[in-house]
């Protein structure tokens, strides 16, 4: 058995063999599985506030940038794509590719081309991995923009990769208006990502 870390239980099981794609395929179907620097990480599907924030952001960006509805188009923005980046297998909550870099959408189970933008919706069980090793992998693979959305803190942090280092662009909270690179062609309220009664459909 390859070494595995269950984020929810905070347990680490190690053998001499690094985890592989087969370990991802063999993971329980109700878990999200990733291989980061040879370790298999598994964690449960996101809680509902997390899912609402992720879905809301995908909707806000998908209409103008995927479909050119009141926006410039030119992107593929995808929920939870499986990315094979070198020996690492990661599943960001959202990722986007400029169509000039990826003219055709892959007909495959995963994508081996690093995205131009990635976003992690933070939860207590995945925060350390998202802000740690996965952020380092994004820098290594030259992902230009990285966002962190935190439903508990009701915040959005945006970073840009410059000369191999992450430079913070902005940290927004509450109901601030969002218009940030690489999606600064549109504007929306950050409050749309929080599952408060006012935003919950009746």
Structure tokens at 59: 């909707």
In a domain, 202, yes or no: no
* pLDDT tens digit sequence for 89-140: 999 999 999 999 999 999 999 999 999 999 999 999 899 999 999 999 999 9
Q: How far apart are CA 54 and CA 163, in angstroms?
A: 29
Helix, coil or strand: residue 146: strand
Looking at the fold, whether 97 and 170 belong to one and the same domain comes out as: yes
Looking at the fold, whether 142 and 165 belong to one and the same domain comes out as: yes
**pLDDT at site 199:** 46
Looking at the fold, whether 11 and 72 belong to one and the same domain comes out as: no
Question: Per-residue b/e over 62-77, b at no fewer than 16 CB within 10 Å?
Answer: bebbbeeeebeebbbb
Structure tokens at 55: 């879905």
* pLDDT tens digit sequence for 21-64: 999 999 999 999 999 999 999 999 889 999 999 999 999 999 99
In a domain, 201, yes or no: no
pLDDT band at 17 (very low <50, low <70, confident <90, very high): confident
Rg of the chain over all Cα atoms, to the nearest angstrom: 17
In a domain, 37, yes or no: yes
Structure tokens at 157: 């942090």
The overall average pLDDT reported for the chain is 91
**pLDDT at site 3:** 53
Looking at the fold, whether 158 and 100 belong to one and the same domain comes out as: yes
* pLDDT tens digit sequence for 147-195: 999 999 999 999 999 999 999 999 999 999 999 999 999 999 999 999 8
Looking at the fold, whether 17 and 115 belong to one and the same domain comes out as: no
Looking at the fold, whether 77 and 21 belong to one and the same domain comes out as: no
Looking at the fold, whether 11 and 26 belong to one and the same domain comes out as: yes
Q: How far apart are CA 151 and CA 153, in angstroms?
A: 6
Looking at the fold, whether 40 and 59 belong to one and the same domain comes out as: no
DSSP letter string over 40-100? EEEEEPPPHHHHHHHHHHHHHHIIIIIS-SSS---EEEEES--EEETTEEE--SEEEEETT
Contact present, 138 and 120 (Cβ < 8 Å): no
pLDDT band at 197 (very low <50, low <70, confident <90, very high): low
Looking at the fold, whether 86 and 181 belong to one and the same domain comes out as: yes
Is the pLDDT score of 15 beyond 60? no
Looking at the fold, whether 29 and 74 belong to one and the same domain comes out as: no
Q: How far apart are CA 26 and CA 23, in angstroms?
A: 5
Determine which helix (DSSP H) or strand (DSSP E) holds 22, and give its type and residue range: helix 21-26
Q: How far apart are CA 190 and CA 175, in angstroms?
A: 5
In a domain, 198, yes or no: no
Residue in 148, 150, 151, 139 with CA at minimum distance from that of residue 115: 139
Looking at the fold, whether 19 and 87 belong to one and the same domain comes out as: no
Is the pLDDT score of 14 beyond 90? no
In a domain, 108, yes or no: yes
In a domain, 199, yes or no: no
What CATH number does residue 180 fall under? 3.90.1570.10
> 196 or 146, which is more confident?
146
**pLDDT at site 196:** 77
Q: How far apart are CA 198 and CA 196, in angstroms?
A: 5
Is the pLDDT score of 7 beyond 70? no
Is the pLDDT score of 9 beyond 90? no
- Count of domains observed in the chain: 2
Looking at the fold, whether 52 and 36 belong to one and the same domain comes out as: no
Is the pLDDT score of 201 beyond 70? no
Range(s) of the domain holding residue 27? 1-45
In a domain, 172, yes or no: yes
């Amino acid at each position: 058995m390859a070494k595995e870390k269950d984020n929810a239980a905070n347990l680490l099981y190690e053998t001499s063999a690094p985890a592989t794609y087969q370990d991802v395929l063999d993971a329980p179907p109700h878990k999200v599985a990733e291989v980061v620097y040879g370790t298999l990480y598994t964690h449960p599907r996101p809680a509902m506030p997390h899912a609402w924030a992720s879905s809301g952001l995908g909707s806000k960006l998908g209409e103008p940038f995927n479909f050119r509805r009141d926006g410039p188009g030119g992107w593929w923005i995808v929920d939870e794509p499986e990315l094979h980046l070198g020996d690492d297998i990661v599943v960001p909550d959202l990722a986007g590719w400029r169509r000039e870099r990826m003219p055709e959408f892959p007909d495959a189970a995963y994508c081996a081309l690093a995205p131009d933008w990635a976003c992690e919706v933070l939860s207590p069980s995945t925060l350390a991995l998202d802000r740690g090793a996965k952020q380092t992998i994004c820098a290594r693979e030259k992902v230009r923009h990285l966002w962190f959305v935190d439903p508990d803190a009701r915040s959005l942090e945006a970073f840009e990769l410059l000369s191999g280092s992450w430079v913070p662009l902005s940290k927004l909270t509450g109901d601030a208006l969002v218009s940030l690179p690489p999606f600064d062609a549109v504007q929306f309220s950050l409050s749309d990502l929080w599952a408060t009664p006012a935003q919950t459909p009746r």
